[in-house]
Chain A
């Protein structure tokens, strides 16, 4: 057992060397970071500026350049947990379905009679049928509008649930379709949030889905969560609706299928609009900041062909009528149509400054959020606080290591030195593994590393205590060391598995900083078993072969 084959020694030392190599970039954090940023920027741009070349030269290309990812609590930045109101989409689906259904039913008017929409819950479409005895026929007609659900779990089911109650036909989305819609809504929201954050150009944002209807957004380096919220929280839903009327009473009855919305720049003025839009922001292909004929900031936009066609048809049929440009439930302007607009482009103007026209263009270009998003959790950490935490963590880790090393050497002499080497290598290995994996180091994670400094020697202690026992039992040096290692193994494994269970639970149930702690703890467990068992043993074996001691004092 005490004979370690040459290849095994090579592997052990090789792993330690590799660890040193991969941990090293973290010593030169800002230089390596500048290097990495320059390389990434040059790769996306396709060419390299002189500044980027200078930044790149700060760190040689052939050395590993992956760094430990610093968590928000260390780097500073903003964290948001948003909840997407997935049910919003059900309503707009129903609103969009109504004209289609009306048309289909109108074609069979002599059978089903006159139809009209009656009020119902937001996610249902209630239609009153003139000839209730022909309800079966009406249901048949409505069924033709249904399509199969497009999703893995709901395949084969219809997307609409159609029922009849008295003279009322009730249409709602089926459960399978709701699930599929929710999923699409979240995916779309994720994509749009990502585009909006990317347009601002911060580094390494984390944007991920959490649970059924939530989105976690972490953006390092951004000034505050409020800034991020202003960017993400805006739905930027742009629609062009026919204008029904104009008044000053927000509580007036709009009539079915209509809505009352406030005007953006005329206080106290409310427009009554048809709820179903002619064209929406989804039909936009481009939006850019510009100036109107009076030199005021404005946003130019362009429709895609189908949007341009619909807009052209509507404007040519409604010359002389006003239509409203609506953004996030506010009427931006309601111009009168002077002539058919068939070019497919237009301009939004009115009460904007250059900044807000630029932001509006960004939002329109990135697309509208399919549903409203509210924020359940928001955190802003200033960069100074993060730096303070890093500094404090470094000092604490250094002092902790010195303390543990001193205590180990005082307790075990030379073997304590071996254990100390193992502990130091362990910390380096943790950093190396985290860098290579791209894992995130959080403030509790630093605490996890310091804790590991204390617990990593545990395996050494178990082994040494065992060797002491064996020596006391009168065994020779080599025999005692050999037995000590072998007998201690099961205790070491059991002890680490239990901690691993706790870390695993933390990883799956925790979030953010706690997850970071779990990751560090788990990596620390694995590396500490390696350093305590393999590295320490190698050190002891080399020492034994070199000094060949006949007696051992431990």
Chain B
């Protein structure tokens, strides 16, 4: 027998609903916690959403953040925050800092003169310093970007809701979208908890999470529909369990391959996109969990029609009860 790596043994019979109140309770609690954390701690918005200027400096010599701060104090360029950036891909002679300046004027950008003054001031502390990137966003644009982000996430969720509704049943759509809200909330929550920079690429990551998480759920739903037709009289809870067990191996396989790819990117892809990659990686785990423990539970509670034979063929009046909970096969 050839060797096969199997994270999930063949023929599992796990009862995923055994602890359903506990698992669902944890999900609910985490969602509430995410909202509370986000409300109290706020998000560490990047300049895309808050306006202002960031300067990325690079220098071959090591520096102290305090020295930089001292050099910039008294320049009168507004609210300055400085963080040192560390990355495993940096060589020994690469020292990177991120300087962030709050929006000072209407357009939100530091003027060329201010930029020159900042550079001159930093050069007195560190003559070899160079600006690798300077980015500036005005408050007008950043305000619009917040709205765009909200629209984008809502539009994507709505589109997915409609698609699942068309392809399956409304209960599936509700379950799928509830799982999505769960994933999005938990992602925002962790960004708030660790104060990770939240910018436009984070929104792209959220949208990707929407896509991949629902992808997972849809594969389960697809099998569920098939099993519902196959086992007409089996209680819904058992059909759900059977389906989850059958698809468990695939759910885990895909989560692992995606996680492998994203971990490589997280470690080696550089610091510029780290928060973006982190969001997606986190989304893979949350999405995997929500497929197994959130989406299905909703379907179980809402119930689902059990007669999947073509209504027109044998029972025309069935169209009235289309989608009624626990409609047993006649």
Q: Are A455 and B152 in contact (CB under 8 A)?
A: no
Q: Which 8 A-B pairs have the closest CB atoms?
A: A454-B261, A502-B211, A454-B258, A499-B211, A392-B270, A400-B264, A410-B5, A400-B261
Partner of A411, one of B5, B211, B262, B272: B5
Instruction: Please indicate the chain B residues that have their CB under 8 angstroms from the CB of A487 in the complex.
Output: 226
Distance in angstroms between the alpha carbons of A451 and B261 in the assembled complex: 6
Q: Does B310 contact A (CB under 8 A)?
A: no
Known: A389-B272, A502-B208. A226 touches B112 (CB 8 A): yes
A465 interface hit (Cβ, 8 Å): yes
For the complex, give the distance between the alpha carbons of A397 and B280 in Å: 16
Residue pair B270, A400 in contact (C-beta under 8 Å): no
Measured CB to CB, the closest approach of chain B to A466, in angstroms, equals 8
Task: Tell me which residues from 129 to 149 in chain B have a Cβ below 8 Å from any Cβ of chain A.
Answer: 130-138, 140-141, 148
State the Cβ distance, A397 to closest chain B Cβ, in Å: 8
In the complex, A294 Cα to B268 Cα: how many Å? 62
B227 → chain A closest CB, angstroms: 12
Q: Which residues of B contact A (CB under 8 A)?
A: 1-6, 10-11, 56, 58, 89, 107-109, 112, 115, 130-138, 140-141, 148, 151-152, 155-156, 159-160, 163-164, 167, 200-201, 203-204, 207-208, 210-212, 214-216, 218-219, 221-223, 226, 246-247, 249-250, 253-254, 256-265, 267-270, 272-273, 276-277, 280
A400 vs B138: C-alpha distance when bound (angstroms): 37
Complexed CA–CA distance, A491 and B250 (Å)? 12
A379 contacts chain B at the CB level, 8 A cutoff:
yes
- B268 with A404: CB separation less than 8 A: no
Instruction: Tell me the number of A-to-B contacts counted with CB atoms below 8 Å.
Output: 236
Query: CA–CA, A554 to B156, complex, Å?
Result: 37
Q: Is there an interface contact between B208 and A505, defined as CB atoms closer than 8 Å?
A: no
> A240-248, A509-517, A542-550: which lies at the B interface?
A509-517
Within 8 A of B (CB), among A460-498: 461-462, 465, 468-469, 472, 487, 490-491, 494-498
* Given known A403-B264, A450-B264, A457-B257, contact A499–B212 (CB-CB < 8 A): yes
Once the chains are docked, how many angstroms separate the CA of A553 from the CA of B253? Answer: 18
- Chain B's closest residue to A496 (CB) is B215
Tell me if A375 and B107 are in contact (CB < 8 A): yes
Task: Check if A413 is an interface residue, CB within 8 A of chain B.
Answer: yes
**B211 cross-chain contacts in A, Cβ below 8 A:** 498-503, 521
Task: Identify 12 residue pairs between A and B in the complex whose beta-carbon atoms are under 8 Å apart, listed by A's number.
Answer: A81-B141, A375-B107, A376-B137, A381-B133, A407-B256, A410-B5, A444-B276, A450-B265, A454-B261, A465-B247, A502-B211, A514-B203
Question: Which partner residue on chain B sits nearest A510 by CB separation?
Answer: B204
- Across-interface contacts of B258 in A (CB, < 8 A): 451, 454-455, 458
Flag if A451 contacts B208 (CB, 8 Å). yes
- From residue 336 to 395 of chain A, which have CB atoms closer than 8 A to chain B? 374-382, 384-385, 388-389, 392-393, 395
Contact B257 A461 (CB under 8 A): yes
Report if A447-B222 is in contact (Cβ < 8 Å); known contacts: A404-B257, A502-B208: no
- Give how many A residues have a beta carbon under 8 Å from the other chain's beta carbons: 79
Partner among A380, A395, A400, A494 whose Cβ is within 8 Å of the Cβ of B135: A380
| B90 CB, nearest partner CB in chain A, Å | 9
Q: Residues of A contacting B160 with CB < 8 Å?
A: 498, 501-502
CA distance A518 to B200 in the complex (A): 13
Cross-chain contact B259 with A379 (CB below 8 angstroms)? no
B208 contacts A521, C-beta separation under 8 Å: yes
Q: How far is the CA of A494 from the CA of B3 in the complex (A)?
A: 32
Contacts of A509 in B (CB 8 A): 148, 151-152, 155
A377 to B50 alpha-carbon distance, docked (Å): 12
How far apart are A122's CB and chain B's nearest CB, in angstroms? 19
State whether the Cβ of A188 lies closer than 8 Å to any Cβ in chain B: no
The answer to whether B167 and A494 touch across the interface, beta carbons within 8 angstroms, is yes
Once bound together, how far apart are the Cα atoms of A81 and B51, in whole Å?
14
Main secondary structure of the interface of A (DSSP, over half): helix
| Pick from B89, B115, B130, B163: contact of A501, CB under 8 Å | B163
Residues of chain A at the chain B interface (Cβ within 8 Å): 73, 81, 83, 224-226, 229, 374-382, 384-385, 388-389, 392-393, 395-397, 399-401, 403-404, 407-408, 410-413, 443-444, 446-447, 450-451, 453-455, 457-458, 461-462, 465, 468-469, 472, 487, 490-491, 494-506, 509-511, 513-514, 517-518, 521, 553-554
Partner of B269, one of A73, A393, A453, A495: A393
Specify which of A224, A385, A399 is in contact with B268 (CB 8 Å cutoff): A399
**Closest chain A residue to B137, Cβ basis:** A377
| A508-B137 Cα distance, complex, nearest whole Å | 21
Cβ of A388: which chain B residues have Cβ within 8 Å of it?
A: 89, 270
Q: Smallest CB–CB gap between B52 and chain A, Å? A: 11
**Residue in A384, A444, A450, A501 whose beta carbon sits within 8 Å of that of B261 in the complex:** A450
CA distance A422 to B216 in the complex (A): 21
Residue of B nearest to A456 (CB): B257
From residue B273, how far is it (CB to closest CB) to chain A in Å?
6
| List of B residues within 8 angstroms of A497 by Cβ | 163
A131–B274 Cα gap in the complex (Å)?
A: 74
Chain B, residue nearest A466 (CB): B250
Q: Is the CB of B219 within 8 A of A413?
A: no
Say which residue of A407, A451, A495, A501 sits within 8 Å of B262 (CB atoms).
Answer: A451
Docked complex Cα distance between A502 and B159 (Å): 8
